[in-house]
Structure 1
Amino acid sequence: MGEEAWQLSNPLLGVAAIVATFLLFYVVGYISNRKSSSVSDLYVAGATVGPFTNGLAMASTYMSLATFLGITALILQLQVPFIMLWIQLILAIPLITIIYGTSLRRMGAFSPTHFVRERYGISASIIAALFMILVSIMYALGQMIGIALAFETVLGIPYLTGLIVGGLIIVGYITIGGMAGASNNAAIQMVIIALMFIIPLGAIMKAMGGSGWFFPPLLYADMVPAMLEAMPNFFDYQYSTKWYVSLIALTIGSLGLPHLAMRIYTASSLRSARSAMVWFAFVIGLVFSATYAMGFVGVYATETQGVVISQADADKLTIILNLVYNPEWVSALVIAAAISAGLSTLSGNLLAIGALLSQDIITTLKPNIPEKKRVRLGYAAIFTGGVVSILLAINPPAFLVVSILWAFGLAGVTIAPLILVGVWWKEANRFGAMASSVIGGALYIIVSPFVFPSVVMTGHSVTDGMGLSGAMLAIPISFILLIVVSYVTNRMPAFRSKLSTKADHELIERIHGWKEVNPARYNSTVGAAITVVFFTAIAIWAAMPWNM
């Protein structure tokens, strides 16, 4: 089968599926959010979301449109073994819950920036909020690209038209719905995503002759011999040890993603948040496994079935396979589900932007703003963030997933160290936090290929573009700066008057559930020294030449 323009021959099928899902989401969003009269209602749904709904919403928010379109493109074009990345990233919500989610929830925070403000002061929190807005926008960028591609396939319209039309419709939906609407819709979207990804994949495998079609996430093994005959190196670990270790950097980054942490705060209780974590891990593991299977099937189709997919169309792999092997109405449902995946993640991103701008920056600088005005500012910030992500998507990267993974890296450099060290080490202070975020963040941006293309870590476009090489260097340096600068300034008389050490110690004890302050608790110098030595070794290794 030769290369062709991939789109629905009957656009009305796609339009009908999309309109039906959008109507459902708008209605659910409006009903869920019609009573939102406070900031708590808007951003964390009044902390009333149950464990099953929250677990599905967590999975849906984390899933992103990259599950449908982005990751499968990298598997198709590069045979990147992203199953390893997913295994690590599936730990994100459990790690957030275990490492700091419980502690931060005791503060009644809307976002991790609230903790940064209480722990390190206003200046550090504004710096962190600005970086988190950039992280959320870059994450949202990937969703906008995918949504534009989906509309392009449905209607046969140019990419730019699909971006503007689809983007504005979705931004409107999110702005109307708030977090209550986003949570209920995200749970519905997760069901749609799972069904419309896994069931059509099974039909594709069956059409190809695979006997394991009834459980696609794992049972594609009978297709492996033909794949190895056509492409003997498909399962080879073609990258260096350093490349696989660098994936951990993105796992650390996931701990700093604001739209994931906000899901912990929507739970009705700590017990509910922990129960939601179990549902999250189960659902996301199922769909992530199917994502790798979809990538495998895509390569199988191109190598053994004569399907030709250009690099320009690689992001559409899931849709193309359905167009080739399934009835067109199935493809229409798959496209609607892909847009649902983008919707769920965009909801989390834009709500995080709204909270960061209105709560963590504007309200911090002007604390006497009335509640109603703060809510209106939140809506305006949500809409503005969506429009910015649309504008950035006009000239997209080669693979939509690149901007998403780069956002993981930036979060790991600028946010995660402040939270992880701040929760578990009392000596961390505002000077260390600001040095960590500003210097670490600047370094990560400089060595990326997006801002200064001539200054990169490895010269390998995939590794640099995904932020792996930059994150593996900048994240350790960020941790080192936070610990060393904090340790030194705590012992300098000129800075002691500016550091509220006693209040910081009381805060740490309180968020961990202790009623009395113990100076020796969460205050190990030896542990801090070991952490610095470890991260120094990692940074030196990252700076050495990369062998792919």
Structure 2
Amino acid sequence: MDGQSWKMENPVLGLVVVALTFVLFYIVGYISNRKSSSAKDLYVGGSNVGAITNGLAMAATYMSLATFLGITALILRLQVPFIMLWIQLILAIPLITIIYGTSLRRMGAFSPTHFIRDRYGTTASIIAALFMILVSVMYALGQMIGIAVTFETLLGIPYITGLFVFGLIIVGYITIGGMAGATNNAAIQMVIIALMFILPLGAIMKAVGAEGWYFPPLLYADMVPTMLESLPTFFDYQFPPKWYFSLIPALTIGALGLPHLAMRVYTSSSLKSARSAMVWFAFILGLVFSATYAMGFVGVYATATQGLVISDTDADKLTIILNLVYNPEWVTALVIAGAISAGLSTLSGNLLAIGALISQDVIATLKPNIPQKVNLRIGYIAIFLGGLVSILLAIEPPAFLVVSILWAFGLAGVTNAPLIIVGVWWKEANKYGAIAASAVGGILYIIVSPFVFPNIVLTGHGVTDGMGLSGAMLAVPVSFILLIVVSYITNRMPALSSKLTRQRDDELIERIHGWNDVKSYRYNSTLGAGITVALSLGVAIWALMPWGI
């Protein structure tokens, strides 16, 4: 089969399956959100979601269409040991819960920017919110691209047509459902994603002769000898150590700053429920992420040993192509339903985050006395407009849909994560440091990315630059340094320190950590701050060195 034939011969079958899933999601969304009467109802579902439902919803929100499409394309083309990338990504919700999620939940905040506003003031929160809107739009962009590509394969219709028609249908579903609908739907979608990814993969592995087909996430070892005979370099570490280290600031720290992930922690009915949800999240995510790596492995195996030819332009369709080649069409229809579910669950989180950022963190901050009904209406409008913008940006997509998603991770790690992490654990952090860290760090990250100034990049590796790895490795430590150093200096300048609310900030930090009293020595270590600056400086210098060092 060549690249021209990568579409279903009977698209009606796929349309019926997808239409049924859309009907289900619309019904669940409408029923779940029909009682929403406040911003808290819209954005955190009333904070009464159970552990299993929330754990599944967390995983579905994080899974994204990149699981079905973008990551497998990178494995196919770069043959990178992406299991290391998954290790970084799977740490997200556990680290959010441990480092700051429970603290912000105890505080009563329902978004990271809410914490930034209370901790650092209005200016810092608006700057952070504007960057987070960009992060959420870029993240949603990847989902829109994947959904359009999926429908292109399903129906054989032009990419642009599928993008606008189905993009608007999806945005409407998310706008109607709110967080309550998104959470209940995401739990359902996670079950669909897991079944429609892992079971067809098992059938593909059986078709190519793998003995471990009955548990695809891990049991593909018998295929390895044949793979190494045909492609001896598959498991090699093809990049220098710096590339692998750059995953930490770009993806691990980046994930800590993603607003739509943090919002999931605040939907839990209690702190205990949030911790339990974290366990379910890690389990289901690990299962499907392992299967994703296996799918990429099987794709490379098929091209190296089975004569399958996939062009660069079709790399994003690898999962669907493998099902078209090795499985009946009705299975491919179910896989497409799973892919759409993955995109929907993540888009829900992205667009709800945009709505919260615009209505709560920008408009409500500037106009605190705005009526609740008006603010709620603005939230719905913001959700819809955020989806519309992501559709328009997807008209000319990057080469790999995952690029825009991972680039968004890096920007979140630069502009949001340091303010929250340091703000929760170090009392001396103040608004001057926060503004400098978010504004300067964010601008630096954008400048060194290949999207704005193509000639100003830190490395010569186009794909990884586009993923934000090199930019985050420089900008994330710079952001930490600016936050700590500027805060430390301005706290000791009478003209500036007199404008700070140090006592209130100290009380806030003690309270969100569960203390009833205030002790000056808690969360106030100059040594810890100094070590963080020294380590960050070392990483920033390393980032400026040649890529091979």
TM range (shorter): over 0.9
1:65-114 Cα deviation digits (max 9, x unpaired): 00000000000011122110111211110000000001001121120000
- Aligned equivalents of 1:119, 1:529: Cα separation in 2: 21
- Residue identity opposite 1:216 in structure 2: P
Contiguous gaps of at least 5 residues in structure 1 = none
Structure 1 length-normalised TM: 0.99
What is the Cα deviation at residue 240 of structure 1?
A: 0.7
- Aligned equivalents of 1:313, 1:114: Cα separation in 2: 42
- Aligned equivalents of 2:96, 2:299: Cα separation in 1: 33
Structure 2 length-normalised TM: 0.99
Aligned 8 A contact 1:68 1:338 in 2 = yes
- Aligned equivalents of 1:457, 1:466: Cα separation in 2: 13
1:242-298 Cα deviation digits (max 9, x unpaired): 111111111000000000000000000000000000000000000000000000000
1:293-344 Cα deviation digits (max 9, x unpaired): 0000000111111111101000000000000000001101101110100000
Match of 1:104 in 2: 104
Aligned 8 A contact 2:59 2:281 in 1 = yes
1:94-142 Cα deviation digits (max 9, x unpaired): 0000000010011211200000000000000000000000000010000
- Aligned equivalents of 1:166, 1:336: Cα separation in 2: 13
Aligned 8 A contact 1:8 1:153 in 2 = yes
Q: Secondary structure at the match of 1:4?
A: helix
Contiguous gaps of at least 5 residues in structure 2 = none
453-462 or 61-70, which moves further after superposition?
A: 453-462
Aligned 8 A contact 2:80 2:235 in 1 = no
Match of 1:213 in 2: 213
Match of 1:200 in 2: 200
Question: Is 2:306 aligned against 1:305?
Answer: yes
What is the Cα deviation at residue 2 of structure 1?
A: 3.9
175-184 or 75-84, which moves further after superposition?
A: 75-84
61-70 or 450-459, which moves further after superposition?
A: 450-459
Match of 2:377 in 1: 376
Q: In percent, how many aligned pairs have the same letter?
A: 79
- Aligned equivalents of 2:349, 2:333: Cα separation in 1: 25
Q: Secondary structure at the match of 2:428?
A: coil
Match of 1:321 in 2: 322
Match of 2:86 in 1: 86
Question: Is 2:19 aligned against 1:19?
Answer: yes
CA RMSD of the aligned region, Å? 0.8
- Aligned equivalents of 2:84, 2:166: Cα separation in 1: 32
- Aligned equivalents of 2:264, 2:331: Cα separation in 1: 32
Within 5 Å, which residues of 2 pair with 1:76-475? 76-249=76-249, 250-475=251-476
Q: Secondary structure at the match of 1:210?
A: coil
- Aligned equivalents of 1:519, 1:89: Cα separation in 2: 36
Match of 2:518 in 1: 517
- Aligned equivalents of 1:507, 1:61: Cα separation in 2: 30
1:388-413 Cα deviation digits (max 9, x unpaired): 00000001000000000000000000
Task: List structure 1 runs of 4+ shifted beyond 4 angstroms.
Answer: none
What is the Cα deviation at residue 496 of structure 1?
A: 1.5
Q: Secondary structure at the match of 2:449?
A: coil
- Aligned equivalents of 1:463, 1:87: Cα separation in 2: 17
- Aligned equivalents of 2:548, 2:201: Cα separation in 1: 35
What is the Cα deviation at residue 40 of structure 1?
A: 0.8
- Aligned equivalents of 1:48, 1:273: Cα separation in 2: 10
Q: Secondary structure at the match of 2:473?
A: helix
> What is the number of residues matched between the two proteins?
548
Aligned 8 A contact 2:80 2:234 in 1 = no
Q: Secondary structure at the match of 2:496?
A: helix
Q: Secondary structure at the match of 2:492?
A: coil
Within 5 Å, which residues of 2 pair with 1:466-485? 466-485=467-486
Question: Is 2:64 aligned against 1:51?
Answer: no
- Aligned equivalents of 1:493, 1:376: Cα separation in 2: 44
- Residue identity opposite 1:394 in structure 2: I
Aligned 8 A contact 1:302 1:309 in 2 = yes
Aligned 8 A contact 1:3 1:307 in 2 = no
Q: Secondary structure at the match of 1:382?
A: helix
- Residue identity opposite 1:374 in structure 2: N
